[in-house]
Amino acid sequence: MKFTTLHFFLGLNICSIGAAAQTQVTAERVSGYVEEIKRVTFDNRNVWNMDLYAPILFVDPATRILFANEQDSTNSLKAESGVFRGVLPDHINIANTSMRWSGKNWAMILLPLSDNRYERTHILAHELFHRAQPKLGFETFNIDNIHLDKRDGRIYLRLELEALRKALESSSKRDVKRHLLNALCFRKVRYLTYPGSDATENLLELNEGLAEYTGLKLSGRNNDQMIPHLLNSLREFHKNKTYVRSFAYQTVPIYGYLTSKNVNYFWNKDIDMNSDLPYYFMNAFELAIPPNLKIYTSGILSEYNGERITMEEKQRELDNLKLVKDLVAKFVTGSHLEIPFEKMNVSFNPSNLIPLENYGTVYPTLRITDNWGILTVADGALLSKSWDKVTVTLPTETKARAITGQGWTLELNGDDYIVSKDENSDNYHLVKK
């Protein structure tokens, strides 16, 4: 595989692939969004010691009509009401993301934006951070934290988030520190239970966590608005089917907000790609993990709904075992079509992924573009653990360059690729002629 780009459908609002915009957005309205975020980034340039304002594409996912805050490098866009209008090509996936198109690096934003200016400023600042990551010295890492789909991984993440919730609701700094210590203790138990998870979690938190904190910081919410927003975000988070890629949207903003409020307003400027975020927050509040960690955490479980969380996660594990078994039969042991990657670009919803241990991860919805064409999935596909192929169910219909199966469609770019049956199995592969 030569190149991979990941686009997430996760921001303040989770969007599904192919979701239609509910209201028509005009150039005049987008021009207002542009002026608004331009003022916000300039006024908050001290957050990262740079103005995050940059080229932005506002895209309607239903029509692929785009509005840009500046002309593209080929002058293909038409000026209209202070912005530039055009149509995004089919081979470009649409998501809240940062991406390169027509000679420039852009922040892409899905339309329509919220009528709430705090929410729309938040998502714009989040994606503008992603666009600025290379200049800020942060690499992009999007690593699955599969342990967070396991029983104990989920239990100790939920316990950590319960402790963070109580820290947000606390009125004294002493109580804030106590709940933060307990949150970090639950996290430490998780790390000890799943060796190596400290590194993979930290990478995602340095990527999506810092981006979400930047969105929070630039959103314009005051202190009275911050805590209700963070508490509501936590409530919404627990509706996610999986936590493997979405947890960082909760952890870093909460730790960061509490650190900014109580210790260091611009703590984020201390962070670089070598930073261990949990270690940083622990030092910032002068906390220390107790030596008898397991005994300590067992003694505080009841304070954070430990019995209820454990019971719910044990039941989920039983339900999930059957789901995983069915998906292995569908995409691994059963007859299927494998599509190899060459120069892959993928968009997906990170809130509903289903890890299949050594086989990879099932993505209920996604859109992949590659040299061979466009694959749109609405009923599940398996991305291999090595990210070198995607597996779907067997084709049910072929018309010219359009191949369809249960919940998926493959549109081929030309006649260079065909679906070929394996000689020694009932499986099929997409191959070059």
Percentage, residues of the chain above pLDDT 90? 87
Helix 151-169 / helix 223-237 crossing angle, nearest 10 deg: 160
Peptide bond into 112 cis (omega under 30): yes
Residue with the bigger pLDDT between 351 and 10: it is 351
Burial class from Cβ neighbours inside 10 Å (0-12, 13-18, 19+) for residue 81 reads: middle
Q: CA-based angle 212:86:122, to the nearest 5?
A: 15
Query: What value does the mean pLDDT of the chain take?
Result: 92
Task: Please choose, from the candidates 2, 1, 77, 67, the residue with its C-alpha nearest in 3D space to the C-alpha of residue 32.
Answer: 67
Q: Tell me the average pLDDT across 312-320.
A: 95
The whole-number pLDDT of residue 22 equals 44
Q: CA-based angle 149:153:154, to the nearest 5?
A: 65
**Residue 23: pLDDT over 60:** no
Q: Tell me the average pLDDT across 178-192.
A: 98
For residues 382 and 389, what is the distance between their CA atoms, to the nearest angstrom? 8
Percentage, residues of the chain above pLDDT 70? 94
DSSP-derived 3-state class of residue 189:
helix
Q: How confident is the model at residue 20 (pLDDT cuts 50, 70, 90)?
A: very low
**Residue 17: pLDDT over 50:** no
How far does Cα 115 stand from its chain's mean position? 23
The whole-number pLDDT of residue 18 equals 36
The DSSP letter of residue 98 is E
Residue with the bigger pLDDT between 109 and 385: it is 109
pLDDT in tens, 105-160: 999 999 999 999 999 999 999 999 999 999 999 988 767 799 999 999 999 999 99
The whole-number pLDDT of residue 1 equals 35
pLDDT in tens, 30-67: 999 999 999 999 999 999 999 999 999 999 999 999 99
Percentage helix, strand, coil, to 5, in the chain? 45, 20, 35
pLDDT in tens, 216-272: 999 999 989 999 999 999 999 999 989 998 999 999 999 999 999 999 999 999 999
* The model's pTM: 0.89
